[in-house]
Each structure stands twice: as C-alpha cells, then as structure tokens.
Amino acid sequence: MALAASTTLAATAQKVTEVFTNEAFIQHVSETVGGELKSFTISGPTTAAFTTQTVRTLPTTRMPDLVQKFVGEWLTVTQDESWSAPAPDGSRTNTIKLSVAKAPVDVSAVQKLSVNGESTLVELTGEVKSSVPFLGAKIVSAAEPVIGRALNLQATLAQEWITTHS
C-alpha cells in the first residue's frame, strides 16, 4: 500500500534536518505517542551525508485489533535512515526503512526536503508491505493509516519544536 504525505515547515532544509535527527526531538515524539526511545545513533555531521538508527517502543492501544493480536501491547520499531548530502540549494533526500519486531510489516519510504524560499517542503512517499499470506493485505491496510498519522504528527511536532527551540 502506498504512503504519501507532505507539509511545509517554516525553516531551512538544514534546520529541518537538524530537528528530525535531534535525539531530544525524537524522544519527545516517542513520548508524545506514549512510547519510549530505546536508542538513537547518528553516523556523522548533519551537514554532509550520514545515517541514523532509531529504536523505540510504541503502544498498540490505538491500533486495530488485528495488529494487537499479532504483536501484543507494544511494538519495537527500528528506523534506519540514510540522508544524502545537501544539494547546492540545500535540498536533500532521506531514504527510510522501518522494521517492526514480531510483526510482518516493513516500510520503505523516501523523504525529500525541498527548499521553498525560507521554508522547506517535506514530501514523503513510500510503501508498506506484509509477508503474511492471505492476511497481509489486511495487516497493511490496518498499518498504513497509523503510519500516516505518525508522519503527520512528526511534522506538526517539528514545527512546534522549531518555533520553541530557535
């Protein structure tokens, strides 16, 4: 199933990158949804190409019963990101892979940060897949809106973070 989300944030692409890869911000996002940040690693400076890995636990209380039956009360989600170096105009691309422990769901996405004057257009496109025969489509259709809401929440919290931490 396809994922698509976009928003404009009132900050430069570099500032958006710094917020999206700030451990305190990632912890804030995790806690806002009732989860817990287990670990965060970053491979280098955000002014060049770099990678990150985030591991968090998330409650399944807001997820459909079908998801809860498969995974229980908590999900452990590992998010691997590979960020490109900034283009001459500051734009950049982030390739995202999400894997969920004990759940037959994988997410792959590309997030583009495009410079738009003093703002940044954040566009995410991706796909949710499940390896379960027969039930896979139901699992994906249950997971996709949850993932979409999480992406929208991240953007909303990022704008708040930029406003209060600048």
Q: What is the CATH number of the domain that holds 27?
A: 3.30.530.20
pLDDT for res 80: 96
pLDDT for res 165: 87
pLDDT for res 111: 93
How many angstroms separate the CA atoms of 27 and 108, rounded?
22
Considering its fold, how many domains does the chain have in total?
Answer: 1
How many angstroms separate the CA atoms of 19 and 74, rounded?
26
**What is the mean predicted confidence (pLDDT) over 18-35?**
94
Predicted model pTM:
0.87
Instruction: Dump the DSSP string for 39-88.
Output: EEEE-S-TTS-EEEEEEEEEE-TTS-HHHHHHH-SEEEEEEEEEEPPPPT
Amino acid at 159: Q
Residue 1, pLDDT > 60, answer: no
Residue 146, pLDDT > 60, answer: yes
CA angle 54, 56, 62 (to 5 degrees): 135
In residues, how long is the chain? 166
Which is higher by pLDDT, 6 or 132? 6
Range of the domain at 99: 2-164
